[in-house]
Every structure is written in C-alpha cells, then in structure tokens.
Amino acid sequence: MLSIEELYKIFLKHPLVITDSRKIEKGCLFFALKGDRFDGNDFAKSALEKGAAYAIVDNSELADESDFFLLVENVLKTLQELAAYHRRQFDVPVIAITGTNGKTTTKELVSKVLDTQYKTHFTKGNLNNHIGVPLTLLSIPFDIEVVVIEMGANHEGEISFLCEIANPTHGIITNIGKAHLEGFGDLEGVKRTKSELYKFLQKRGGVVFINRDEAFLSELAQANFRKLYYLQSEHPSHLVADFEVKFLGSDPYVSVAFLSWANEIIKVKTQLLGAYNFNNIMTAIAIGKYFKVPAKKIKTALENYKPTNNRSQVLKKKTNSFIMDAYNANPTSTKLALRSFNKMNRKHKVVILGDMLELGVSSPKEHRAIVDFARECGFEKLIFVGKEYKGILKENEYSVFEDVLALKKWFEKQIFKNTWFLVKGSRGMKLEKLLQ
C-alpha cells in the first residue's frame, strides 16, 4: 500500500486532482471514488488512456495490471488524508465559513474583499462537503496568502470532521436556522453541528467572528474564545462591537455604510438584492477590516460583486423582472426572502415557491407555515410548485403545480406586465427552468 508521504511526492509532480473520469486532463491524478451508483475503479483504466498520470484505486486486481494504478486501502479516505497533509504545508490564515444560510454568498464576498489585498484561494462553487473540501485544499497553490473554505453539513459530526482536514485558523457561522432536518432531527441538532466549528477553533486557539445580531451565535461562543464581534448599527462607530456596519436600504439592492480606520464614512452600493444579504455584506466588511484591507478596496470589491447561479439574480424578461433565488430553500431562508420581497416598493408582485426539501417529518408543518406567512404578506398572487405544497393545499386554494414543467406550460399562456416575481425553491425543484 502507498503511504500518504509517498503519494504526496507524486502529487507535487502532478498537482491536478480529478475525480470525474469524464473530465480527465493530461498529467492529472485520478482518484477512483465510489458512489451509490458507480465505482470509480471501473473507470480507472479509461482515465489513464485519456491522459491521467496515475489512477489512485482500492481494487487490488487493477494494481496488478500496471504501475500507473496506485493501490490504497480506501480512495476517499486517502483523498482526505492527502488534502490534510497538503494543508499542513501552509502557515497562512484559513477561514472556515459554515451556517444554515448565506454560506456561499458570504464566502464569495469575503474572498473578493481579501483578494484585493492578498492572494486568496477559496472554495469554487459549493464544493463544501467531505469530497469538495479536500479538493479545494488540494488546489491551494504554494504562493497563497489566505484561504477561505466553505463547509456544509447535513448531519452531526460533519463540520468537526471537515475541520480536522482543513485545520482552520479563523471561523464564521453565518446563522443557524431550519435546514436539513432529516439529518439533524431538529434545530438543536443544527446548533450542535454548526457549533463544532467554534469548538474546534477554541481547542486550537483560533479566532471566531460573531455577528451579534444573529440569535444563538453569542451563546455558542464560550467566554474563553478568541472572538471578534460585529453588528448592525444606526450610526457607524467603534463603541459597541469590534466592527459595525450601518444598513442604508434595499429597494431592491442593498446599500450600507461603515467607518474606515481613519473614521471616514464609506458608503457602499452593492448589486445584492434583499435585506437578508446585509449580514453577508457585513461579515465581509468585518473580516476585511480585521485583515487590514483598505476601506476603499473593500468598497470596490463589494460594489463589483454580482451574484450568479440562481442566487438572488435579477433576470429581465420583456417588462417583467424575476428575482431568481432558486439555488436552495429552507424555512428560514424562504421567510427572509418573502419578508424582503414584501418590503420592495413595487406595484405588481407575484411569488412562486417551490418545495423545501430534506425537512423530514417537519415538512408539512413547515410548508404550511410558509403558505400562511406568504398569504399574510398580501402579494398579488401566490403560486406553489411541488408535491409538498400540493399535499397540504386544498384544491382551488391557490395555483399549485406538480413540477416546474407543469408550471411553465401554464405560465407561458399568462399575460403579466411590469410585474416583479420572486422565485424561491430547493435545488431539486429546478425552478430556473421556468425561464429557460
């Protein structure tokens, strides 16, 4: 069996790691991972034929065929151990970001801000799980100055495990809310899991950034933590917390103000929709200031950032505007999106909500609560998509569709003019297909 030290020497000569045999590049290392419906060992020979330098496998029969098959006991475990080994070669800040909502947007904003001053490596897309985090770490170049890692979880112990691999020096929990209840059981399970980041940093003497405006976060950070607080203020000052940011408005894009170290008020007009994005922006400002990024660079980074990938994107179709927030949804994020949309000063507003997945036994109750909240907001029209909503709503109570294709068929026959739409649902609902 190949040791991690021996494999690392090979990795240094072939630093591109690929786990998908369809995306092989010449000279890469192919890790033959297993999934529910596939075994990467079956594609190892093909990977070599396509140009991979070596294939890391855990099928001993393959190892007998060629020296370019590198045999290990468990490919996934080896990938994780190699990532941890590579991480240990760096003495730089590694910032871990987790939380129920806003992880990816916060990661993007923090990275953009830090990258104006330091060479910053960060999680691409949402590679935030037991495979994505190792892949992110293995792609760290040797001239890097700061690393930003997004960590996701859908069951207890997962954040703790990812911390052991990534060994973060700094950490942020964006917030704690109702998501992945199938795996966590209840809100207490979510709190325990997310707080694993705090516990790891406490043990290692790391720094925790805490948004004082978010419920639960301060209680999770014990007195002997190294921590920095930031919060929303009416008037930017240095008096109540380490960092403060003022909310100026969000109709529809968020504007904020903060103080430079020279006590100059810096106003920022972002391209981010909704008051719910304020905390993500505030986190990026606080971390930028902590790492001594000049205020003007923070402002430029935040104003230039434009969301993509169905995360609060504004899409124009003729006279209508669609807030496409269809990357993910849970009860907490959906309620925040509805509240923010309700505050927008627009004459015609229509809401399209897709099922919130992975809520387990709480699903009917949580979907009913969202229906009731949306109704109380008084929008012009409510439209629901998916089996969860269909299962709790009476016939003719609202416009309800089995899936996005049924919705699209109906939608194309309707006439809407000068209307704003909020489109919100879990990734599995694929609501973006409405406009494709």
pLDDT given for residue 188 in this prediction? 73
Q: Span 176-200, mean pLDDT?
A: 73
Q: What's 57's domain CATH number? A: 3.40.1390.10
**Distant-in-sequence, close-in-space partners of 129: CB < 8 Å, separation ≥ 6:** 152, 158, 162
Would you give the distance in Å from CA 61 to the centre of its chain?
39
Domain identity same for 290 and 394: no
Amino acid identity, residue 1?
M
Domain identity same for 200 and 151: yes
Domain identity same for 203 and 345: no
Domain identity same for 105 and 231: yes
pLDDT given for residue 223 in this prediction? 58
Instruction: State percent of the chain over pLDDT 90.
Output: 70
Average pLDDT, whole number, for the chain? 91
Give domain status of residue 83, yes or no.
no
Give domain status of residue 85, yes or no.
no
pLDDT given for residue 323 in this prediction? 93
Give domain status of residue 124, yes or no.
yes
Task: Using alpha carbons, select from 16, 78, 21, 75 the residue that is nearest to residue 44.
Answer: 21
* Pairing verdict, β 29-31 and 54-57: parallel
pLDDT given for residue 145 in this prediction? 99
Q: Span 256-274, mean pLDDT?
A: 93
Could you write out the DSSP letters of every residue in 254-297?
EEEEEE-TTS-EEEEEEEEESGGGHHHHHHHHHHHHHTT--HHH
Tokens of 195: 């707080």
82-to-79, 124, 418 alpha-carbon distances in Å:
5, 19, 54
Task: Using alpha carbons, select from 347, 356, 337, 316 the residue that is nearest to residue 422.
Answer: 337
pLDDT digits (tens, 9 = 90+) for 366-397: 999 999 999 999 999 999 999 999 999 987 78
Give domain status of residue 84, yes or no.
no
The structure's pTM equals: 0.86
Give domain status of residue 401, yes or no.
yes
Domain identity same for 287 and 138: yes
Domain that holds residue 51: 4-73
Domain identity same for 186 and 298: yes
pLDDT given for residue 328 in this prediction? 85
Give domain status of residue 103, yes or no.
yes
Rounded to a whole number of angstroms, the distance between the first and last alpha carbons of the chain is 50
Tokens of 256: 């904020």
Domain identity same for 168 and 261: yes
Domain identity same for 45 and 134: no
Domain identity same for 201 and 255: yes
Domain identity same for 152 and 242: yes
Task: Using alpha carbons, select from 163, 165, 236, 233 the residue that is nearest to residue 201.
Answer: 163
The length of the chain is 436
Neighbours of 218 (CB within 10 A): 13
> CA–CA separation, 303 vs 299, rounded Å?
6
Give domain status of residue 258, yes or no.
yes
Write down which residue in 269, 304, 339 finishes a domain. 304
Q: What's 149's domain CATH number? A: 3.40.1190.10
Domain identity same for 234 and 114: yes
pLDDT digits (tens, 9 = 90+) for 289-307: 999 999 999 999 999 999 8
Domain identity same for 214 and 269: yes
Q: What's 430's domain CATH number? A: 3.90.190.20
Per the structure, how many domains does the chain have?
3
Amino acid identity, residue 314?
V
pLDDT digits (tens, 9 = 90+) for 55-93: 999 999 898 788 999 999 999 999 999 999 999 999 999
pLDDT given for residue 237 in this prediction? 46
Give domain status of residue 78, yes or no.
no
Write down which residue in 274, 304, 334 finishes a domain. 304
